[in-house]
Each structure stands twice: as C-alpha cells, then as structure tokens.
C-alpha cells in the first residue's frame, strides 16, 4: 500500500507538467494565429480610433509601447505571455475599459447559466438514464431513447429561438429579453433564466441519458449484481448501491469533459439568443465591433478553464479509482 | 518510368489493379484543371472544386471501389442496416436533401432577390394580420395576407423567397458537411493509424498534440479563427476539417492498436512491405467500417458548426445558408415566425437523419450485434 501514495504523487506531477505544456501550446497557437491574420489587431484598433475622430498619432505610440511591434518576434511573444500572466489582458475599445474589468463584470452571468444547467442536466439525465437501463427494452426505455436522439439533434440556438417564439411571443409567459437589472440572487432572475436553462439542458440531457444507460447496463450484467440479488437484497439497494456506484465514476468524467464542448458552446449561443450579458455575449458583440482583445481573451479563458477542469477530473478520477493507472 | 509506378503501387496496394488507374486518372484530372486555372484567365473551379476532386479520389479508392469489389459483404451489411427503420428513414431524407441541393436551384428563384412589394408573406395555407401604417391618413390599417403557391414557404421581411433560401442552404450545409468531414476524417485516420503503427516517440508526440488540440473548445476556436481570417466558405470548410480530426484520430488509433499485431500485418512485414505501404494498403482498408461510422456521425456536428457560425454572423456573406436565414428570422420573430422555423426544421431533420443513419451503420458493422 505505501507504493500507492508515491505513484499517485508522481502521476499528479506528471499531469501538472503536461497541463503546463498544453497551456503554453494554447498561448502559442493564439499568438501565431493573431500574428498571421490578414489584418493585425493594431490596424483594426487604429481604424477604430480614426473613425471616432480621435488623435491617431498618440494611439500609434500607445500601441507600439504596448505590443512592442518594432521588437523581434520572440520578445513580442514573451511580452504577450507576461502581460497575460500579469492580468493585463488589453484594452477593449468598443466598451472603453480594460478587458479584465469587462470580464469581471460579466462572468457571473455565464456562470449562473452554466451552473444551473449543468446541475439540472446531470440530475435529470442520470435519473432518466437509470430508469431507462433498469427497464431496458420497455416503453419507458424506447421513449427515453427516442427523445435523447431528438435532444442531441436539435440545434441549440434554434431551440432557444423556438422557445422564445412559443412562450414569449405567442403565449407571453416570459420576457423576450434578459433583464440584467434584476439582481442575480432573486426569484425573478430564476424565472427569466427558465428558458435559457431549458435550452442548454436539452442538449446535455440527451447525452447524459445515453451515457448513464450504457454505463448502468454494463454493470447490471456483472456477477456481483447477481450475488447481491442472490443474497436477497432489495432491488433498490442493488441498483442504488451496487450498480449505480460503479457506473457513476465514468459518468463524472464524461460530465466534466462535456462542460468543455457542449456546455460552453451551448452557453455561448444561448447568451446570444436570449441576450444574456455573459462572456459569450460580450465576445459576440466584440466580433461585430472588431474588438480583438475581447475575442482573444474569451477564447483563452474558455480554453484554460477546460484545461483546468480536465486536470482536476483526471486527478480525482485516478485517486478515486485505483484500478486506473496511467503509465 | 518504373519508379513512379512503384510509388503509386505503394498507395494503391494491388499491382496493376484498377485502383492505380483511378488514382492516375484523378491525378491527371487535378493536374489538367490546375493547369487550365493557371493558364486560362477565367476560373473553372473555386478551392471547393479541388477539394471535391481530392476527397472524391480518396472516397473512390478507399470507399466505392472496395465496396464494389466486395458486393456480397455490402449486401450483407445492407440487409442488417435496413432492418433498422430509423436508419433507412434517415438515408431516405439524406437522399432527398441531396436531390434538393442538386436540382432544387433550377426550380426556385434567386434566393438573394429582394422584393419589398411581397414581404412577410406567410407559407401556403397560413393567413396573418398585418397592420400597415399609412403616412397620409396617419392611421394603421389591418391587412390580411394569405400565403400563395408563388411562395410556398412564404417570404421574409425583404421579400426573399424562403423556399429558394432553404434550397440554397441545403446546398451549403451538405457541401460543408461532406467536405469538412472528409478532410477531418482523412487527416484523423492518417494520424491515428500512423501513431498506432509506428508507436514509441512518434505515437507519444502525435497523441500529445491531439490532446492539446482537444483542449480547445472546438466551436470557440472556430469562431476565433474565422474572426481573425474573415468568413469565406472554402476557408471555413478547411478550418473545420483541420481542427475536427482529433476524435477520429483517437478512435482509429485504438482500433489500429489491435490490428497491428495481427497475422496479416506480420505477413506483409515479412514479405518486406514498407511502413507506408502497410499503413495505406493494409491498415487503412481494415478500419474503413469504423471510419464510415465516424464520418456519418461527424457530419451533423460539422453542419451545426457552420450553421452556428452563420447564425452569429460569421458565415460567408456571399452565400445563403440556413444559419443566416435563422438569424434573419430571429430578428423578426413577432412579424414573420416562419422565417425562423423553416431553416431550423431543416437543420434539425438533417442532423437527426445523419444521427439515425450513423447509429444504424454502427449496429450493422458491429459483429457483437449479429444474431
């Protein structure tokens, strides 16, 4: 047993080291992409300054100082990484404030949306999945499978638009636009988040239902389940304690990894459709304003968040399930 | 003379086979078109045309020709897949969509032609009340507009025919879906097979690179790149293809790992086959069934990615795609709901059809599900 601890520590160190390399990779790729782009961020910035009739020569000097465009490329790169590390994420000219301030005021709107939908999606998805697996090939199972196909196939942004059309425009049950004046921790806010949360959850739900179903089915056929039943345990205990506990670990991994792809992209669209002023929405606005710094930062933040989530998931998973050993 | 023939043999496998002929013909076609494009001022092909030729060659070499030579096996798989009714329905819808995209434009009007006299007409069979403001009398008069056969799906707020826009969108979605998936799957297969077969350091490097690529949230990366380089259909196809190969690479790699120690690979090695020949002529053909399933199940994601880009305003402005129509529809939900409904329904059905078909194919190819 004392072997285990050392092994785990080595694994964590190795994993952290790899995460560092990936982080550098992400920074390098974004740096290169922005560099080889047809118009440099400085040009767009200057064009914007000129369009507003402000003093261009002063802006030129400011940009030279900030990006160090006259310096060699490797120095620019080090500068770029160092600035990001210091929390200096650039200036958003379309909103006239530092990008970090913009992120600070808006992240909470994305967070509430992702938080609520993830919890709801995971809970309901797992429940339906369990039901579907326990009653395999029953009517419940077929209906659940059919709806999960629909849930996976329905375009997130279209579902949002359709929900607005039905519940807001035709039935008038909800407002058509998100009101950011309402305090976040209030019932009114929860009410206006109903449609957005349903929009994101639908896509997630479908995936979780199917994963849970197959993970449960894998374990239902195992011998320890037969033993548990043979020794006379009630079915509730067999399913809840013996089958589900074994199925839940891979599920957690899938749910965490999903956060990166499905949930982040889902939140991006949902914020745009419902006008929720989260990170997706500010990135969307920045695209139209040609506000480089904001678009770059939002992409970087999402990539780093996903990197961190993956890292934590991997380490927790290895810790919880000693059967898994990466070489 | 024999030298270049030998190098073609590496790729095609069979010495003197029909495959070699196909490859030479396609290469010649590509060469002639490029020559014509360079010499003649007027362009024959846009970049998408070249992609069609290149991917078409791959499809013929590794898909259609092997399928043709093993008709009995195809018949067996077809029998199994056709028992899944949803998969058959999916296939039927996809065929309908392809037909719509190919011949639809000949029967519809120009999707970009605006006509403000005929704006906001509802679809056939629907009637709406619209209040029209008269500047002279300063009064709003309620006017009834009924859908007609002239615009079966109605028109948008600029009087563009919705049916024409849907047909044009089908073309774009299918093009993007097939071409980008083709690039992604070809690249993913090559990386996955190479990584598994060569193993060691190369495997490590390729897989770590795949991990880095996978860390980027796919859609946000897409938004980022298209934002920087500007929206252009061929470019969007290329970017989706070049960023979307990671899943394929991983799945193909794990499949190849179990193949590479099998006897027929040993035999090929013992006979002195080179690495590239083993990869291209022995390993790749043996993961084709997996690749077909992956490709079918990847197309929906690619189609949705393009639609999503268009929806947030990063689509190619020179073409009419479903995402773009949906975006226009969302802005006029209270006056013309049908503009938002129609492209979304098509998108939904298309994605559903590919998902059903992919699922059916996976079951059909899976020997464990054989009775």
Closest chain B C-alpha to A5 CA, distance in angstroms? 26
Using the beta-carbon criterion (under 8 Å), do A265 and B221 form an inter-chain contact? no
A91 with A178, same domain: the answer is no
Q: Of the ranges B46-50, B217-221, B283-287, which one carries the lowest mean pLDDT score?
A: B46-50
Q: What is the DSSP string of B286-303?
A: HTHHHHHHHHHHHHHHHH
A155 with A56, same domain: the answer is no
A165 with A209, same domain: the answer is yes
Percent of chain A at pLDDT exceeding 70: 87
Using the beta-carbon criterion (under 8 Å), do B334 and A169 form an inter-chain contact? yes
A69 with A109, same domain: the answer is no
Q: Give residue A203's pLDDT.
A: 81
Minimal Cβ distance to A22: which of B212, B219, B308: B212
Q: What is the pLDDT of residues B129-162, one digit of tens each?
A: 766 666 677 776 667 777 676 777 777 777 788 8
Is it the case that residue B69 has pLDDT exceeding 90?
Answer: no
Determine the Cα–Cα distance for residues B171 and B168; give it in Å rounded to an integer.
5
Which residue on chain A is closest to B304 by alpha carbon? A155
**B46-110+161-365 belongs to which CATH class?**
mainly alpha
User: Which pLDDT band, with edges at 50, 70 and 90, does B96 fall under?
Assistant: very high
Minimal Cβ distance to B219: which of A154, A176, A265: A265
Mean pLDDT across chain B, nearest whole number?
80
A51 with A184, same domain: the answer is no
Q: Is A267 on the interface with B (CB under 8 A)?
A: no
Count of CB contacts below 8 A, A vs B?
123
Is it the case that residue B6 has pLDDT exceeding 70?
Answer: no
Q: Of the ranges A318-322, B2-6, B196-200, which one carries the lowest mean pLDDT score?
A: B2-6
Q: Does residue A316 sit within a domain?
A: no
Determine the Cα–Cα distance for residues B359 and B366; give it in Å rounded to an integer.
11
Q: What is the pLDDT of residues A98-145, one digit of tens each?
A: 888 888 888 888 888 888 888 898 889 888 888 888 887 888 888 888
Q: What is the pLDDT of residues B314-347, one digit of tens each?
A: 888 888 889 999 988 888 877 788 888 889 999 9
Tokens of A198: 């349903």
A46 with A113, same domain: the answer is no
Q: Does residue A300 sit within a domain?
A: no
Minimal Cβ distance to B312: which of A37, A162, A272: A272
Is it the case that residue A189 has pLDDT exceeding 60?
Answer: yes
A150 with A262, same domain: the answer is yes
Q: What is the pLDDT of residues B229-273, one digit of tens each?
A: 888 888 888 889 988 888 889 888 888 888 888 888 888 888 888
Please tell me what DSSP assigns to residue B368. G
CB A281 within 8 A of CB A95: no
Q: Which of A48, A72, A97 is the last residue of a domain?
A: A97
Count Cα atoms within 13 angstroms, Cβ side, for B191.
24
Q: Give residue B15's pLDDT.
A: 44
Is it the case that residue A88 has pLDDT exceeding 80?
Answer: no
Minimal Cβ distance to A149: which of B223, B314, B352: B352
* Mutation choice for B interface testing from A28, A158, A165, A268 by most B CBs within 10 A: A158
Is it the case that residue B65 has pLDDT exceeding 70?
Answer: yes
Q: Does residue A201 sit within a domain?
A: yes
Close Cβ partners of A80 (under 8 Å, ≥ 6 residues apart):
A27, A31
Q: Where are the domains of chain B?
A: 1-44, 46-110+161-365, 124-154
Q: Is A269 on the interface with B (CB under 8 A)?
A: yes
Which residues of chain B lie closer than 8 angstroms to A162, CB-CB? 340-341, 344
Give the CATH number for residue A170: 1.10.3720.10
Chain A window 35-54: which residues touch B at a Cβ cutoff of 8 Å?
37-38
Q: Which domain holds residue A55?
A: 2-97
A215 with A264, same domain: the answer is yes
Considering A172-186, A256-270, B131-145, B226-240, the range whose residues carry the highest mean pLDDT is B226-240
A28 with A62, same domain: the answer is yes
- How long a stretch of residues is chain A? 327
Q: Of the ranges B30-44, B57-71, B209-223, which one carries the lowest mean pLDDT score?
A: B30-44
More confident residue, A235 or A187: A235
More confident residue, A164 or A175: A164
User: Which pLDDT band, with edges at 50, 70 and 90, does A216 fall under?
Assistant: confident
Sign of torsion, CA B328 B330 B333 B337?
Answer: positive
A50 with A189, same domain: the answer is no
Q: Give residue B349's pLDDT.
A: 93
A202 with A85, same domain: the answer is no
Considering A42-56, A61-75, A185-199, B168-182, the range whose residues carry the highest mean pLDDT is B168-182
Q: Give residue B218's pLDDT.
A: 78
Chain-centre distance for alpha carbon B18: 27
Q: How many domains does chain A have?
A: 2
Burial of A130 (0-12, 13-18, 19+ CB in 10 A): buried
Q: Of the ranges A178-182, A319-323, B267-271, B294-298, which one carries the lowest mean pLDDT score?
A: A319-323
A92 with A148, same domain: the answer is no
Q: Does residue A235 sit within a domain?
A: yes
């Amino acid at each position: 047993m004392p072997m285990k601890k050392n092994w785990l520590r080595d694994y964590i160190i190795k994993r952290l080291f790899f995460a560092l390399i990936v982080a550098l990779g992400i920074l390098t790729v974004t740096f290169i992409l922005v560099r080889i782009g047809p118009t440099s961020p400085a040009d767009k910035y200057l064009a914007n300054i000129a369009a507003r009739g402000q003093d261009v020569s002063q802006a030129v000097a400011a940009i030279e100082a900030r990006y160090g465009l006259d310096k060699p490329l490797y120095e620019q790169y080090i500068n770029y990484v160092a600035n990001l590390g210091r929390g200096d994420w650039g200036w958003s000219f379309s909103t006239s404030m530092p990008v970090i301030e913009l992120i600070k005021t808006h992240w909470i709107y994305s967070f509430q949306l992702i938080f609520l939908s993830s919890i709801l999606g995971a809970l309901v998805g797992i429940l339906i999945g369990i039901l579907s697996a326990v009653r395999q090939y029953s009517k419940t199972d077929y209906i659940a499978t059919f709806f999960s196909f629909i849930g996976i196939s329905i375009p997130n942004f279209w579902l949002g638009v359709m929900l607005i059309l039905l519940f807001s425009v035709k039935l008038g049950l909800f407002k058509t636009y998100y009101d950011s004046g309402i305090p976040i921790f209030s019932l009114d806010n929860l009410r206006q988040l109903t449609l957005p949360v349903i929009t994101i959850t639908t896509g997630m739900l479908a995936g979780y239902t199917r994963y849970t179903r197959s993970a449960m089915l894998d374990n239902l056929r195992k011998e320890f389940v037969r033993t548990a039943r043979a020794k006379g345990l009630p079915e509730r205990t067999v399913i809840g304690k013996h089958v589900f506990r074994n199925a839940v670990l891979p599920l957690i991994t899938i749910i965490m990894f999903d956060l990166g792809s499905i949930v982040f992209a889902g939140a991006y669209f949902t914020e745009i459709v419902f006008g929720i002023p989260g990170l997706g929405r500010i990135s969307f606005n920045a695209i139209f304003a040609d506000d480089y710094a904001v678009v770059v930062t939002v992409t970087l933040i999402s990539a780093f968040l996903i990197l961190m989530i993956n890292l934590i998931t991997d380490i927790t998973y290895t810790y919880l399930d000693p059967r898994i050993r990466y070489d | 003379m024999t030298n270049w023939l030998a190098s073609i043999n590496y790729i095609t496998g069979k010495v003197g086979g029909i495959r070699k002929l196909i490859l030479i013909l396609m290469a010649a076609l590509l060469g002639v078109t490029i020559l014509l494009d360079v010499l003649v001022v007027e362009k024959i092909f846009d970049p998408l045309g070249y992609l069609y030729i290149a991917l078409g060659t791959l499809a013929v070499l590794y898909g259609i020709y092997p399928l043709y030579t093993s008709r009995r096996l195809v018949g067996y798989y077809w029998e199994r897949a056709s028992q899944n009714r949803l998969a058959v329905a999916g296939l039927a819808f996809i065929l309908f969509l392809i037909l719509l995209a190919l011949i639809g434009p000949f029967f519809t009007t120009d999707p970009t032609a605006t006509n403000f006299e005929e704006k906001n007409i509802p679809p056939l069979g629907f009637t709406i009340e619209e209040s029209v403001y008269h500047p002279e009398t300063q009064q709003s008069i309620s006017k009834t507009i009924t859908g007609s056969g002239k615009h079966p799906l109605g028109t948008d707020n600029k009087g563009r025919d919705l049916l024409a826009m849907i047909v044009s969108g089908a073309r774009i979605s299918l093009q993007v879906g097939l071409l980008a998936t083709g690039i992604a799957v070809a690249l993913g297969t090559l990386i996955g097979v190479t990584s598994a077969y060569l193993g060691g350091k190369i495997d490590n490097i390729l897989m770590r690179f795949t991990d880095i690529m996978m860390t980027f949230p796919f859609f946000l990366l897409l938004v980022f790149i298209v934002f920087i380089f500007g929206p252009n259909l061929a470019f969007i196809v290329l970017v989706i293809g070049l960023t979307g190969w990671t899943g394929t690479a991983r799945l193909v790699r794990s499949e190849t790992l179990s193949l590479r120690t099998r006897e027929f690979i040993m035999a090929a090695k013992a006979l002195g086959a080179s690495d590239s020949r083993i990869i291209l002529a022995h390993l790749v053909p043996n993961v084709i069934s997996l690749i077909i399933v992956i490709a079918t199940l990847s197309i929906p994601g690619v189609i949705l990615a393009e639609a999503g880009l268009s929806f947030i305003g990063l689509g190619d402005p020179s073409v009419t795609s479903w995402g773009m129509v949906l975006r226009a529809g969302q802005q006029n939900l209270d006056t013309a709901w049908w503009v938002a409904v129609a492209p979304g329904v098509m998108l939904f059905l298309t994605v559903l059809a590919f998902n059903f078909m992919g699922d059916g194919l996976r079951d059909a190819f899976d020997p464990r599900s054989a009775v």
